[in-house]
Amino acid sequence: MMKVEKKTSKLLTALSIVLAIAMIFPIFWLICSSFKQPNELFKYPLKLFSSDPTFQYYKSVLSGGFMNYVKNSLFLAVVGTLITLAISAMCGYALAIYRFEIKYTNLVFAVFLLGTLIPGETLTVPQVSVISALGLYNNIWGVILPVVTTTTGIFMFRQAYMAIPLSFVEAARIDGCPEWKIFTHVMMPLGSSSFVTLAIFSFMWRWNDYILPMLILSNQKNFTIQLAIKNFIGNTGVDWSSILSASVMSVIPVIVVFVILQKYIIGGVSAGGVKG
């Protein structure tokens, strides 16, 4: 029996390594290709490493105002994530703590969940119409505000707070603690793993967003990284070398955020799956 378990464990380990390599290899190929000359990218037979590596296209991308696009994307991702965390945490708190105190609280949550059945593409035209009416067209806030609420975040916080005994809240109320202090001083620290997990997901969603910025932003100085990369596709051809170089640089912030906060993901996802 022990031998069978050891063999199974080794097989699963080997399979995990193969899958990890299969997932990492395209990223590694992207990085290596970003140092190649254009004539090497499609030369057959394909080679992983360049025979004449160059930083020329990194320099070209940076000199073309790429850091301004990074600044715009960082503002979009960071500010949008902070607002999303605040709204999701407060909604999750209300839906979890007041579920026995306020009638129809669970029905309200069910309506939130039903909203996830609506395809995001069907909301594009109404979103653009509202943004234009508010005077936020071609404004980075016009990209941030339509997506600051997320049912995923509300669900995650609700489930996390439902796993916390209501006696904590009741004890704080008996001590005379106001409701906002209960939320900020008692519940928020206990739901820290959900904060970190949603922060990672929200940052990646906004950093990689393409459709909404493309519809809202028309002035190039307001472009995000994803729109800037699209600009390398012109009427006369595609500047693949610049696209590869810009893509590598655009991935770095997401990897940094993920590496720093990855240890909190399992805790946050587990907390979101607890049945209350």
Question: Which tens digit of pLDDT belongs to each residue from 94-118?
Answer: 888 888 888 888 888 888 888 778 8
The Cα 232–Cα 157 span in angstroms is 40
Higher pLDDT, 271 or 239: 239
Residue 144, pLDDT > 60, answer yes
For residue 212, what are the contacts with CB-CB under 8 A and spacing of at least 6?
A: 124, 127, 143, 146, 147
Beta bridge partners of 238: 233
- pLDDT above 50 (res 138): yes
Predicted local confidence at residue 78, as pLDDT: 92
pLDDT digits (tens, 9 = 90+) for 188-236: 888 778 888 888 888 888 998 888 898 898 888 889 998 888 888 776 6
Name the residue among 229, 238, 237 with its Cα closest to residue 210: 229
The answer on pLDDT for 271 being more than 70 is: no
Question: Domain-by-domain residue ranges, the chain?
Answer: 71-224
- Say how many Å lie between the first and final Cα of the chain, rounded: 38
**How confident is residue 275, by pLDDT bands cut at 50, 70 and 90?**
very low
User: Which pTM does this prediction carry?
Assistant: 0.81
Q: Compute φ and ψ for 209, nearest 5 degrees.
A: -65, 140
Residue 83 confidence (pLDDT): 94
DSSP 8-class letter at 122: G
Q: How far apart are CA 29 and CA 10, in angstroms?
A: 28
**59-68, 132-141, 166-175: which has the highest mean pLDDT?**
132-141
DSSP state of 146: G
Position 99: which residue type? R
Coil, helix or strand at residue 75: helix
pLDDT (average), residues 22-42: 85
DSSP 218-274: -SGGG--HHHHHHTTB-SS-B-HHHHHHHHHHHHHHHHHHHHHHGGGHHHHHHHHT-
Which pLDDT value is given to residue 81? 92
- Domain 71-224 class? mainly alpha
Looking at the chain, the number of H-run helices and the number of E-run strands are 16, 0
Nearest to 182 by CA among 192, 194, 170: 170
Round to whole Å and give the CA distance between 24 and 22.
6
pLDDT at 265: 60
Span 47-91, pLDDT tens digits: 888 878 888 888 888 888 888 999 999 999 999 999 999 999 999
Residue 270's pLDDT band, with cuts at 50, 70 and 90, is very low
Per-residue pLDDT band for 4 (boundaries 50, 70, 90) equals: low
Angstrom distance (rounded) from CA 217 to CA 132 = 11
* Residue-level pLDDT at 73: 92
Per-residue pLDDT band at 264 (split at 50, 70, 90): low
pLDDT of residue 44: 79
For residues 202 and 148, give the distance between their C-alpha atoms in angstroms, rounded to a whole number. 9
Query: Could you give phi then psi for residue 233, rounded to 5 degrees?
Result: -100, 110
